[in-house]
Structure 1
Amino acid sequence: MELLELTAYLSAGIAAGVVNTLAGGGSIFTLSLLLFMGVPAPLANGTNRLGILVQNISGAYTFHRSGLLNVKQSLIFIIPSLLGALTGAYIATDISTEHMEDIVGALMVFMLFSILIKPSTGNKRIQTLGQDLFRWYFIPLFYAIGFYGGFVQAGIGILIIVSLSLSASMPLIRSNAIKMLIIALYSLPVVLIFVFQGQILWLAAILLAIGQLSGTWITNRYLTKIEGIDKWIKWIMIVMISITIVKTFFL
């Protein structure tokens, strides 16, 4: 691997780590880069998972140690998400390269529009605390979310946070903690599925994982204090997604 590629993977990993720590959607950076580098969509989908696993394990542990994550109360979200992710990952490994590229390309178009129209979540850490209202529809809702996460992953963090905030009236900081726990727990078996199917490029995956852990550390140490950091991230994401769309459909 050339120095330019190595730097690109580390940089994309750092960007993903920053975005995932602030809210979610960082996989857009890593998946976009892998596709731009010419990695086939099924391989890109699998390679993207190692960094996601290690970052969310680290983040969930940090939240738990800080007393911001109640694992027992999160089981209603974790169990259906895990089952859905296993189903989604199994199906993803069985799809042809051509069809997966079409799916990922369409997903990128959807993500571009969602970023353009969604209100910025920013790096707010405190919101009004609501009650956790456990309802029956959490099970099918989070099974569907898990299925999507196992199938592609990109944008899953935003989806989980929005679902928890709207359906369970949770503040952002608690939603973010549960998001990391959900993704960490379903990512381990999902990574194993992609490993057994031979759909991980290990050097790229390791570089992205190192970058994501670095991005998490940088964010917690420095970036949460910077006013307007979310706006810069938003426009970088727009550029990355736009380049990926052009590469996928027109080049």
Structure 2
Amino acid sequence: MSPLESVVILIAGVGAGTINTVVGSGTLITFPALLAFGVPPVTANVSNSIGLVPGSISGAVGYRRELSGQRSRTLRLVSASLIGGLIGAVLLLALPEGAFATIVPVLIVLGLVLVVFGPRLSGWVARRHESAGGLPEHGAWWVWPLVLLAGVYGGYFGAAQGILLMAIMGIGINETLQRLNGVKIVLSAVVNGIAGVLFAIVADVDWHVVLLIAVGSIVGAQIGASVGRRLPDAWLRAIIVVVGVVALVVFLRSS
């Protein structure tokens, strides 16, 4: 890999770290860049997943204020992400390339619809639980299994995982989007982390790529945290939709 290509991947890592912290879908910056420089698709996917873990950790540190008071909720959802991420990583290694090509766009569209109609849907969910004293701290019963499924998707590919997580938690948990965004960053780190451990053991990893993306994503995550945590919920919701639409277009054009 030439010095110029290394610099481009480093910059892509910065962009991915920034977007992952604010919204998600940073993979749609780094993954195409790796493919453009001739990195094999599976190697690019696994190397990207490992490289983005330090950025997610950096983003969680940047959102530590929003994470305050959510320890129990976060730990409960982390268990779902651990299981889902491991399943997704196994599927990536076991299934032929392109097996999820048809379902990825559907999941992105579904996530965007849920984000757009999130306030109405969350209000409806809250009203349904009023007779029982409101939503529990951890959210509606279906949040955990859906977070697990999002983890499966994230372990397999990862793009738009953050959008799906924000849609699920935004509807099923009575909390502000900014505080849920902090939880999302932790869950994304867990999914990429558990998948990365498996990939490091059994898959073909390009460690030069991992290092470049890791350094870039750490820097980008701090940029994203400083900007994203100041956004009102309405702005954050709008940015999620815009990034999601771009992610959908990029994926459809590349598939």
State the TM-score bracket (shorter-chain normalisation): 0.7 to 0.9
| 1:116/1:41 CA distance change after superposition, 3 Å | farther
Q: Which residue of 2 aligns with 1:13?
A: 13
Is 1:56 equivalent to 2:56 in the alignment? Answer: yes
Contact 2:143 2:169 in 1 (8 A): no
Give 2:165's match in structure 1, choosing from 152, 157, 160.
Answer: 160
Instruction: Give distance in 2, aligned partners of 1:107 and 1:247.
Output: 12
| 1:208/1:112 CA distance change after superposition, 3 Å | farther
How much does 1:118 deviate? Answer: 7.1
Q: Which residue of 2 aligns with 1:39?
A: 39
Amino acid across the alignment from 2:21? T
Q: CA RMSD in A?
A: 3.5
| 1:133/1:30 CA distance change after superposition, 3 Å | same
Q: How many residues align?
A: 237
The superposition leaves residues 127-160 of structure 1 with CA deviations (integer Å, 9 ceiling, x where unpaired) of xxx9746332223212211111111111101111
Amino acid across the alignment from 2:209? A
Give 1:205's match in structure 2, choosing from 204, 207, 210.
Answer: 210
Amino acid across the alignment from 1:174? R
How much does 1:202 deviate? Answer: 1.0
Instruction: Give distance in 1, aligned partners of 2:34 and 2:106.
Output: 17
- What is the 5 A alignment of 1:119-198? 132=137, 134-198=139-203
Contact 1:89 1:151 in 2 (8 A): yes
| 1:229/1:148 CA distance change after superposition, 3 Å | closer
Instruction: Give distance in 1, aligned partners of 2:83 and 2:18.
Output: 28
Is 1:84 equivalent to 2:89 in the alignment? Answer: no
| 1:236/1:186 CA distance change after superposition, 3 Å | closer
TM-score w.r.t. length of structure 1: 0.76
| 1:28/1:230 CA distance change after superposition, 3 Å | farther
Amino acid across the alignment from 1:162? A
Give 1:107's match in structure 2, choosing from 76, 101, 104.
Answer: 104
How much does 1:92 deviate? Answer: 0.9
SS in 1 for 2:217: helix
How much does 1:164 deviate? Answer: 0.5
| 1:108/1:32 CA distance change after superposition, 3 Å | farther
How much does 1:66 deviate? Answer: 6.1
Contact 1:35 1:44 in 2 (8 A): yes
TM-score w.r.t. length of structure 2: 0.75
- Percentage of matched positions with identical amino acids: 26
Is 1:217 equivalent to 2:214 in the alignment? Answer: no
Comparing 61-70 with 239-248, greater Cα deviation is found at: 239-248
Q: Which residue of 2 aligns with 1:126?
A: none
Instruction: Give distance in 2, aligned partners of 1:75 and 1:18.
Output: 24
The superposition leaves residues 189-221 of structure 1 with CA deviations (integer Å, 9 ceiling, x where unpaired) of 211111112332111121111111111223345
Instruction: Give distance in 2, aligned partners of 1:140 and 1:114.
Output: 15
Contact 2:66 2:179 in 1 (8 A): no
